[in-house]
Structure 1
Amino acid sequence: MTVRANWKGYLKVAEVTCAVGLYSATSSSDRIAFHMINRKTGHRLQRQFADSVTGSPVEREDQVKGYEVGDDDYVVLSPDEISAVLPESDKVLDVSAFVRCSDIDDIYFDRPYYLAPSDETARESFALIRDGMETKSVAAIASTVLFRRVRTVLIRPYGNGLIATTLNFDYEVRPVAEAFSDIPTLKIKGEMRDLASHIIKSKAGTFDPATFDDRYETALAELVKAKAEGRKIRRPKAKAQDKAADLLAALRESAGVDKTVSTPKSRRKPAA
C-alpha cells in the first residue's frame, strides 16, 4: 500500500502478533471546500479568538480549556493537566473476543479503516488471522489507544485484508426511545399491505455505490466553473411537490392500479 498509514502498531491474537497499519477507508478531500473571503479586499479571512466580555483578541499562550459547571463558571484545565490523564499507547490492537458480525448493531459503527500488514515479515501471520476469521465467519473485538483516545475496534475480513471499524461507546449512542416514543402502534393490513408489498417487490435491486451521485457536489463544481469562466449562472428549477394525498390512492397509483377499482376480495391475502 503506497498511501501513508494513519497509525502503525501490532495486531495481537493470543500469542500471534503481526505488524499492521491503519489506513483511512473514506476521505472528504475531494469535496469542494470554501474559504471565507473579505468581500471588499478579496483577501482570505483568519480566525481569531476574542474575549466574550471585553472583545479583545486572546493570544494563543493565554488560551486554555475550561469545562462549564454553571453560568459563566468554569473549571480551567492547563495543557499539562490534560496531558497527564491521556492514556499511554502500547500500539497494540489486542483482540479480546471473536463475535458474529450480526451480533454488532451497526448504529455503533463510527469510522472504517483498512487494516494491512505494515512489513513483509508480518504477511504470513496476518494472512493466518484473516483466513481463520473468514473460515469461521467471525469478527474480532479489539481495543487500543488511537489518536489519543482508548477505542474499541471491530475487525472483519475484507478481500485480501481487514476492515477495522472504530465503535461508538454506549453513552455516545442516544436511546432509541427518544426518537420513536411518539410513533403510535399501527397494524396495516388488507389491500394497503398487499399494495405496499407489491411496490417493494417491484423495486427490488442491489446496492451499487457507484450509481449514487452527489448532486450537491456536482452542482457546486458546475457553479464554481461557471463563475470562474464568467458564464451566466442558471438556477435549477425546483420540482413541484405533490400535495398530500389519500394513502390508499397513492399506493394504488404507485403500484399502477386504477384508483377507481378496488382490489377484489378474492385476490386479497388474509391479513396477518
Structure 2
Amino acid sequence: MAPRAVWKGVLKIAEMTCPVSLYTAASTAERISFHTLNRKTGNRVHRQFIDEVSGKPVETEDQVKGYDKGDGDYVILEPEEIAAAVPESDKTLTVETFLPCDEIDDLFFDKPYYVSPSTPVASDAFTLIREGMKSRQSAALARTVIFRRMRSILIRPHGDGLIATTLNFDYEVRSAADAFSDVPAIKIDDEMLELAEHIIKTKAGKFDPKSFDDRYESALAELVQAKIEGRKLKPQKRPEPTKVVNLLEALRQSAKGAGSKAATRSKPAATEAPRKKAS
C-alpha cells in the first residue's frame, strides 16, 4: 500500500515551482500500545475533564483554552479567535536560501519527512532541483505552515528524493552552556588520553540501524505473547553493579579488551564456522 501524504503543496525556488508531497519518514505506529482497563470489569476506561472546584465532568462544548496570567487568573481564548490568529497555509514551501548540508546543528532537527513529486509532470523539475543540490552539496532552508504552525524546514537530497526536516525554533533549544556549567576544567594525563584514543580506534565502526534492537519493545512483545499462551516468563537478571576502580587502570583493562576483540574480528573469513542456510 502506498503511503499517505501528510502534506501536499508546492516547492518554490525563485520563480520555479514544483508540486510535492510530504510523507512521514519516522513513525511510532509499529510500537506495542496498550489500553487502560477497569481491573474489576475488564472494560476500557475513558478520560474526562473534571472541573477542579465543582468536581463535575465538563462536556466538550463547554471546554475552552485559557492562558494563566498568574495566580489562577485566566484569559479565555475562543476557538474562532485562535483560528483567526493562526496563519493560514498557502501550501507553498518557499525556499529562502541555500546553505551547506552540515551548516545547521543537529540540536535544531525536529522531525523528518520524505519529499517526492506529487504528479508525474512535476518529476522533471523535482529531478533538476535534487541533482542541482547534490552537485553543490547544498541544503535548502524553507518556510511553510504545516499542521497550523509556521515552520522552518531544512531540505536535503536523499537518494531518489529529498528529506525535509522541521527545525526547532531558537527559543526551543536550551542553552548548552547551562547544561555544562558544572563540568570542571581538568587536565588529562597524556597516557590516559592515548589509551582513550586507542579504545576509540579499535572500536571504530559504521552505523547500521538494523543492528540496534529495541529491547524494551521486544520484552513487551514477549510478555504479551506469554500472557496470551498462559506461560510465565523468567524474571530478567539484573546487571551486576559496576565496581569503582581507578580510571587509569580501567582504561588499561579496556584497551586490552578492545585489542583482543579487534584481533578476533581481523581473523580470515576461512577460519569462521560455516553458517547453515535457512530452510
1:109 positional shift: 0.3
Which contiguous aligned blocks of 4+ residues in structure 1 show a shift greater than 6 angstroms?
none
The secondary structure found in structure 1 opposite 2:32 is: coil
Secondary structure at the aligned position of 2:8 is classed as strand
Q: CA separation in 2, counterparts of 1:223 and 1:71?
A: 46
Structure 1 partner of 2:130? 130
Partners of 1:178 and 1:75 in 2: CA distance: 33
Q: How far, CA to CA, are the matches of 2:240 and 2:193 in structure 1?
A: 28
Q: Which residue of structure 1 lines up, in the alignment, with residue 71 of structure 2?
A: 71
Is 1:251 equivalent to 2:251 in the alignment?
yes
> Are 2:153 and 1:153 aligned?
yes
Name the counterpart of 1:48.
Answer: 48
1:130 CA displacement: 0.5
* CA distance in structure 2 between the partners assigned to 1:190 and 1:5 by the alignment: 55
Q: With structure 1 as the length reference, what TM-score do the two structures score?
A: 0.93
1:214 corresponds to which residue?
A: 214
Equivalent residue for 2:141?
Answer: 141
Whole-Å separation in 2 of the counterparts to 1:239 and 1:142: 48
- The residue identity in structure 2 corresponding to 1:80 is E
Cα distance in structure 1, aligned partners of 2:22 and 2:113: 6
Supply the distance in 2 between the matched residues of 1:217 and 1:170 (Cα, whole angstroms): 33
* Offset, 1:134: 0.4
Q: In structure 2, how many angstroms separate the alpha carbons of the residues matched to 1:93 and 1:238?
A: 51
SS at match of 2:249: helix
Q: After alignment, is 110-119 or 189-198 more displaced? A: 189-198
- Report Cα offsets for 1:219-246 as digits up to 9, x if no partner: 0000000011110122111110222211
Aligned match of 2:39:
39
* 1:9-24 equivalent positions in 2, closer than 5 A: 9-24=9-24
Q: For residue 2 of structure 1, what is the aligned residue in structure 2?
A: 2
What is the aligned partner in structure 2 of residue 110 from structure 1? 110
Q: 2:271 is matched with which residue?
A: none
Give the partner amino acid of 2:145. V
Identity %: 61
Instruction: Give the distance between the partners of 2:102 and 2:183, measured in 1 at CA.
Output: 26
Aligned partner of 1:96 in structure 2 is 96
Q: Which residue of 2 aligns with 1:80?
A: 80
Match of 2:28 in 1: 28
- Residues of 1 paired with 2:209 and 2:233: CA distance? 30
**Matched residue count:** 257
Amino acid in structure 2 at the alignment position of 1:221: A
The superposition leaves residues 90-134 of structure 1 with CA deviations (integer Å, 9 ceiling, x where unpaired) of 100010100001211110000000000001010000000000000
2:238 equivalent to 1:234: no
Q: Give the superposed CA RMSD.
A: 1.0
Deviations 1:164-192 (CA, angstroms, capped at 9, x unpaired) = 00000101101111210000111213211
C-alpha distance after superposition, 1:192-251 (max 9, x if no partner): 111111111110100110100000000000000001111012211111022221101111
CA distance in 1, matches of 2:73, 2:243: 51
Can you list the C-alpha shifts for 1:66-111, whole angstroms capped at 9, x where unaligned? 1111121111111011111010111000101000012111100000
Task: Determine if the alignment matches structure 1 residue 177 to structure 2 residue 181.
Answer: no
Q: TM-score, normalised by structure 2?
A: 0.90
The 3-state SS of whatever aligns with 1:256 is helix
